[in-house]
Structure 1
Amino acid sequence: MEMIIEAQGLQKDFRIAKRRPGLFGGLRSVVDPEVRMVSAVRDLSLQVQCGEMIGLVGPNGAGKSTTIKMLTGILTPSSGEVRVAGLVPIRQRRELTSRIGVVFGQRTQLWWDLPLIDSLRLLRHLYRIPEARHRENLKQLRAMLDLDEFIDTPVRQLSLGQRMRGDLTAALLHEPELLYLDEPTIGLDVVAKARIREFLLSLNTQRGTTVLITTHDMDDIETLCPRMVIIDHGCKLYDGTVKDIQARFGGERILVAVLDAAEMARMATLSRSEDGLPVLPDLPEGVRLIKLDGPQLELGFRREAIPAHELISWLGACYALRDVTFQEPDIEDVIRRIYEKNLLLGDIGVAV
């Protein structure tokens, strides 16, 4: 498939000036400061296919926003090569603007004191969108994002969720091929987050828009992004599917079984462990009973200890079951484990 983002060996260094102490503890020198170089992004390579939804994940200061700014042409890379939609961002920024959309969660491109509709009309002239095309796109986005209830309200009076929907509309009026979202759900309540996620999935499915998201909200990643890139201290640690990293670093899975009513009497006859849970006879190695709550039984197990289908077979042979489901490890816990254990590039294995 065609690549919309191609970055190779991206590096971004910043010069940090620190004033030196003066003589006898006096004034610090501003004439001869101490200068050191800090690498915000180091040797980062990234390829994104048209139509992908990809999450860029990392702690504060990892280099996520710096990467986005190099991909949009706001910052010039110190070294490396990058092309977006076939264009070099820093040299062809004007042409690139018409092919990308950008939303920064803590900033807005709307006019603060104007009604939202006026901002959206002004953007037609900034992007030089033909009137008929602008009218049709605005009609579709008003419906998809349910803007009519507040479209005549000044932007400064909008709630955070309403403003974010307005910013998404502003970024998509010119039908960009690629949408960058930097913390798009930051500060939003649960309902507003769900609405934004539903819209982004619809946008990707119906229009084929490529979406690159940087976020601290792991629910965004699990809901929206089949692929995830983890960076830390400017370096890429992982590039692959969310499912793969859950499988390799997710720790325990949980099997939730609903027992038949007849099995409850049997459970009452079993001996109990120190924590009050029944001791299940012949429990496979690597499997532990987490909870028994009424007819619901929860078993924790690791993938390497026993395959899921074997555990289900054992459970079905021993107990009468009404239902069986699985709970996967939370991706936020997975990422936390990676950082806490200081896993390196070689430990995770970067998928290129």
Structure 2
Amino acid sequence: MGDAIVVRNLRKEFKVYSSRSGLKGAFRDLFTRNYKIVPAVNDISFHVKQGEMVGYIGENGAGKSTTIKILTGILTPTSGLVSVNGMDPHKEREKFVQTIGVVFGQRSQLWWDIAVQESFRLLKKVYKVSDAQYNEHMDHVIKSLEIEPLLDKPVRKLSLGQRMRCELAAALIHNPRLLFLDEPTIGLDVLVKLKIREFLKEINKKYNTTILLTTHDLSDIEALCERVIMLDGGQIIYDGSLRKLKDQWGEGKEIQFQFIEEAKISDLERLTSSLGVKWNKGEKDQIFTAHMEDNDDKVSRLISIVVSSYKIKDVKVNEISTEEIIRNIYEKGIL
């Protein structure tokens, strides 16, 4: 299985101009401008195999969208090597765009005032898709995304969730090998998100479509991606499996107990003193949470000790969420 994306020592710099203050400063700016060079992407390297679903994450300004724009041929890199589907996205643009699909959550590729199906027909001609190919592939896409009732409506009359499903369908008209998704579920309700996630899993399995996903909604990453690439300040600070990230930085487990009878933290601490447990009392009556290392044997022993000493109404074992892990990484700089 080959690489869909190869990036080596990629760098993208921008000139940032600064204005001088006052009338005198404004006059001087007419003739000479002060500027500095700012690297948005700073010598990054990674590769993505054909058929992989990869989460590309980072805070605002980390360099995610700049990378996507370079990979899709919108921006030219300052230096470094970029190969996508075996081509240079900028130099072989016309041939290259036939092999990719792009969905930007903040941008539309559908025409605002015409019916959705007319936009689809225009894109079909742009990508030179035959009637047979279109019918075979798009019948499945339209049915899976449940957009058939929307086809004769103008885009301006669609809700955000309806439009995003149509945007995703439009990006897949030519059945691309590689799909770039930049914040595809921004502002969507839970049911629409679930529908889009299930569909993405389906096309990945059916067509071996490679997907690079940038999002601030980490539940999207958890639902779809086994691998994450994390950016900070234009540099990659983590590239690996989501499971390893959780194991390495998850900082243990939480076991929540709801007692039928009255319990005290001092008694619970005494009972579990050998297990290195930290106890907290919840806002509701008789709910206590034990924080401890992620060790299956110790978790089992804790539950056994507590259950043998108290009458229990409910027990929940929770991992530290991915969102909390990543927030800790950025706040504490622990990578």
Cα separation, 2, equivalents of 1:322 and 1:94: 64
The match for 2:265 among 265, 273, 280 is 273
Q: 1:20 to 1:257 in 2, by over 3 A?
A: closer
2:49 corresponds to which residue?
Answer: 49
User: How many residue pairs align between the two structures?
Assistant: 331
1:315 corresponds to which residue?
Answer: 303
How does 1:290-309 map onto structure 2 within 5 Å?
290=280, 298-303=289-294, 307-309=295-297
Question: Relative to structure 2, which stretch is displaced further, 154-163 or 17-26?
Answer: 17-26
Q: Is the Cα contact below 8 Å between 1:230 and 1:237 reproduced in 2?
A: yes
1:203-228 Cα distance to aligned partner (Å, 9 max, x none): 21222111101111111111111111
Code of the aligned partner of 1:309: D
Cα separation, 1, equivalents of 2:306 and 2:220: 39
2:275 corresponds to which residue?
Answer: 285
Unaligned runs of 5+ in 2: none
1:31-55 Cα distance to aligned partner (Å, 9 max, x none): 2111211100001101101111111
Query: Residue 60 of structure 1 aligns to a residue in which SS?
Result: coil
Q: Is the Cα contact below 8 Å between 1:58 and 1:232 reproduced in 2?
A: yes
Query: Residue 62 of structure 2 aligns to a residue in which SS?
Result: coil
Code of the aligned partner of 1:36: K
2:61 corresponds to which residue?
Answer: 61
Deviation at 1:294, TM superposition (A): 8.4
1:69-104 Cα distance to aligned partner (Å, 9 max, x none): 111111111011011111111111111111110000
Identity within the alignment, %: 41
Q: Is the Cα contact below 8 Å between 2:271 and 2:305 reproduced in 1?
A: no
- RMSD of aligned alpha carbons: 2.5
1:277-328 Cα distance to aligned partner (Å, 9 max, x none): 855514433213345878976432123xxx2233204533663589865311
Deviation at 1:19, TM superposition (A): 3.8
Q: Is the Cα contact below 8 Å between 2:65 and 2:182 reproduced in 1?
A: yes
Cα separation, 1, equivalents of 2:193 and 2:212: 17
Q: 1:187 to 1:314 in 2, by over 3 A?
A: closer
How does 1:37-186 map onto structure 2 within 5 Å?
37-186=37-186
Deviation at 1:198, TM superposition (A): 1.6
The match for 2:332 among 303, 318, 341 is 341
Cα separation, 1, equivalents of 2:193 and 2:269: 42
Cα separation, 2, equivalents of 1:258 and 1:177: 50
Question: Relative to total residues, which structure has the larger helix share, 1 or 2?
Answer: 2
Code of the aligned partner of 1:335: I
1:150-171 Cα distance to aligned partner (Å, 9 max, x none): 1111001001111111111110
Cα separation, 2, equivalents of 1:37 and 1:143: 49
Q: Is the Cα contact below 8 Å between 1:21 and 1:29 reproduced in 2?
A: no
How does 1:26-41 map onto structure 2 within 5 Å?
27-41=27-41
Q: 1:257 to 1:26 in 2, by over 3 A?
A: closer
Cα separation, 1, equivalents of 2:142 and 2:169: 8
2:223 corresponds to which residue?
Answer: 223
